[in-house]
Structure 1
C-alpha cells in the first residue's frame, strides 16, 4: 500500500520536534521551511551572499536525518564569540551556504545534503529567494524584517512577504505546490505564529495550494504565548489568525495541549520570549474547525515547555489512518 504523504510547514525550533518523531513512522514526509529569517547567523549570511537563510533548514535537516550523534554535533557546532568573522555561526549554516553558492541555489544544496545525510523525506525551502517579512500592526504601523517585529509595542494585525532583492512577487520553490496538492495531510506548526508559520502561508502559490488541496490540514497549536506576537492569545485566536490570512477556514483539525505547565517552572531568563500558557477556548475552536484533539502534549525540559513529538505524531497518525479508511 502507498505510504501516507504528510507535509509539514513551518520553521524555527517547533517543526523539527514533529519531524524527528514522524520520520520513524511509515510515511512519506516533506518539510517546507520558512526563508524569512533575517537575524543572527542566518541574517548575516543571507545579507552577504544574497541566498535564502540556512538556519531553519539546518535544524530540519538534522531532525530528519539518521546521522550519528557525533556528525550532528559537528554540523550544529557554533563558533565561539572570540572567533572574529566566524563568531556565532553554526558550522552547518556555512556548509549549506557554501553548497548553495556552488550549486546556484539553496534548494539544490538541500537536495544534495538530504542524500549526504540519509534524510528520511524531502526538504524544500518555501521559496528559492530570500524573503522579507512585513508586519502591519493594529495601529497601522509597519515593521519590515522578522528580527525587528517583536521590538515594536503593539498587536500585529497581519503579515506579508516580499522578495528581499527584487520587486517580483514571491513564488514557491519548485515541487512545493505539488507536494501540498499530493499530500494526505498538511501539518502547520508548531512554531511562532507570525514569524515561523505565516511567512510560508502568505506566499501566494502556497496560500492557493492550501485552499485547493484535498488534504487534511492540521494545526499544532503553541503551548506558550510569545512576546511581541501572541500576548493574551487563546488557541482559538491562533486559528482565527491563520484562517484570516488564508482567506477562508482552511484548518480542519487543531491539536491543543491541555496539560498545565507547573507554576514558576519556566526559566524566563533562558526563554525570555515566552510569556504564559496559551488558554484553551473550546467553543471558539469549534466555530472554526471540524475537529479538536485536546490532550497532554507537554514535554518539560531545561526550564522550557515544548511539545512531546511522539505524543503529537501518535495523534497525527491516528488521524491520517482514519482519513484513509
Structure 2
C-alpha cells in the first residue's frame, strides 16, 4: 500500500509554448497542486520584445514576462506594475512593458545570461514553479514555404501570406541552438508534457526545433498532450484540421510523438468575433478524429471554449481539469496555498 506522501505526490507538468495561450493555461494550473515548468520560446521578434532584442541583444522577454506573472504569488497590484505598458505618447518608452525592461536590466546587470536572470527574477516574484527560456540566447525562426522560398524572422514569416512547409531555428553565431540542462531535466522527469495552446509554427515549433528539446520530448516516458487551437490562423494554419496540426508536429520531429489531443467541439457563435481586433484568426478548426487516430492519438473532445472581449479563447480551468484527469489527480485536489 502506498504511503500518504506517495499518493499525494505533485504531478510534474511541463508546458511548452509561447504567445497568449501559455499564461492562460499556467494561471489555471497554478490553482492545482502541480509542479509546473514552463518552457518559453525565445524566437519572438515583434512588438516591445523585438525592439529590446534588437537594441540590447537579449532574449525577447515578452512571453517570459507573461509566464512569470501567471505563476507569481505577488499581490495583484505588484503584478500589474510588472505588466504595465507605457502609452504611445510616452515616446521614449512607448509600447514597452515595465517587466520587459526589468528582465533586460537584470540580464545585463548580472552578466550571466537570460536563464540566470529569469531564475533570479522568479525568486523575487515568488513564482510557484519554474519559467525556463527555451535557450540561453535569442534565436531566429526560419521558414521554407510550399513554393520553395525561405524567409527569416517570426514577423516576416506570418506576414508572407504563403503556406509554410517547415520551420527551424538558428543562433546568431551559427552554432546549433541548445537548451539549458535544467530544461532537458524537467522534460525527462515530467509526468506530463503539454504543448500549447498557441501558434503552431511560431510559438510551439520554435521550442521543439531546438535539437535537444525535440529529442527529449520524443524520448520522454511522460504522456505528451497537444491542446489543439480553436481557430485557424492567418499566415500559419489556414484551412487546417486538428489532424493537420498534429501531422505538422509529427513531421517536424520525424515520428508520431503526440499521445493525446484535446479538441474543442463547442461551435463559435457566428459573427461573435471582432474581426478587426482579432484579425489573425480565420475559421474554426475542423475536426478529423479519424486522421488523429491514424497518427496514434487518443482524442479528448469537449467544450473548452471561452468567449470574452469579442474574442475566442480556451477555458483554462476546463482544459486543466482534463489535464489533471490524465495525471490521475482528482479534480477536487487543489493547492491550499493558492491565493
When the two structures are superposed, what TM-score results if normalisation uses the length of structure 1?
Answer: 0.97
The residue correspondences of 1:71-82 to structure 2 (distance < 5 A) are: 71-82=78-89
Rounded Cα–Cα distance in structure 1 between residues aligned with 2:221 and 2:227: 19
Any unmatched runs of 5+ in structure 1?
none
Rounded Cα–Cα distance in structure 2 between residues aligned with 1:217 and 1:177: 15
| 1:201 aligns to 2:208 (yes or no) | yes
Aligned counterpart in structure 2 of residue 312 of structure 1, from 313, 316, 319: 319
Partner of 1:159: 167
Q: How many residues align?
A: 321
The residue correspondences of 1:122-201 to structure 2 (distance < 5 A) are: 122-163=130-171, 165-201=172-208
Contact 1:254-1:289 at 8 Å conserved across structures: no
Q: CA deviation at 1:130?
A: 0.4
Q: CA deviation at 1:174?
A: 3.1
Partner of 1:110: 118
| 1:121 aligns to 2:129 (yes or no) | yes
| 1:291 aligns to 2:298 (yes or no) | yes
Partner of 1:302: 309
Q: CA deviation at 1:152?
A: 1.2
Q: CA deviation at 1:3?
A: 1.4
Rounded Cα–Cα distance in structure 2 between residues aligned with 1:107 and 1:32: 11
SS for the counterpart of 1:109 is helix
Structure 1 stretches of at least 4 aligned residues deviating more than 3 Å after TM superposition: none
SS for the counterpart of 1:84 is coil
Aligned counterpart in structure 1 of residue 104 of structure 2, from 93, 97, 101: 97
Q: Which digits, 9 at most, give the CA deviation of each residue in 1:163-210, with x for residues without a partner?
A: 1x3111111123111110100100000000000000000100001101
Contact 1:10-1:190 at 8 Å conserved across structures: yes
Rounded Cα–Cα distance in structure 2 between residues aligned with 1:147 and 1:100: 24
Rounded Cα–Cα distance in structure 2 between residues aligned with 1:71 and 1:303: 28
Q: CA deviation at 1:84?
A: 2.1
Q: CA deviation at 1:85?
A: 2.6
Aligned counterpart in structure 1 of residue 228 of structure 2, from 190, 203, 221: 221
SS for the counterpart of 2:80 is helix
Q: Which digits, 9 at most, give the CA deviation of each residue in 1:69-127, with x for residues without a partner?
A: 21121111111112223111001100111011112211111111111111110110000
Rounded Cα–Cα distance in structure 1 between residues aligned with 2:63 and 2:161: 26
Partner of 1:266: 273
Any unmatched runs of 5+ in structure 2?
1-5, 330-339
SS for the counterpart of 1:148 is helix
Partner of 1:277: 284
Q: CA deviation at 1:244?
A: 0.6
Rounded Cα–Cα distance in structure 1 between residues aligned with 2:114 and 2:179: 13
Q: Which digits, 9 at most, give the CA deviation of each residue in 1:200-244, with x for residues without a partner?
A: 001000011011110100000000000000000000000000111
Rounded Cα–Cα distance in structure 1 between residues aligned with 2:38 and 2:25: 10
Rounded Cα–Cα distance in structure 2 between residues aligned with 1:24 and 1:266: 29
| 1:246 aligns to 2:264 (yes or no) | no
| 99-108 vs 54-63, greater mean Cα deviation | 99-108
Partner of 2:335: none
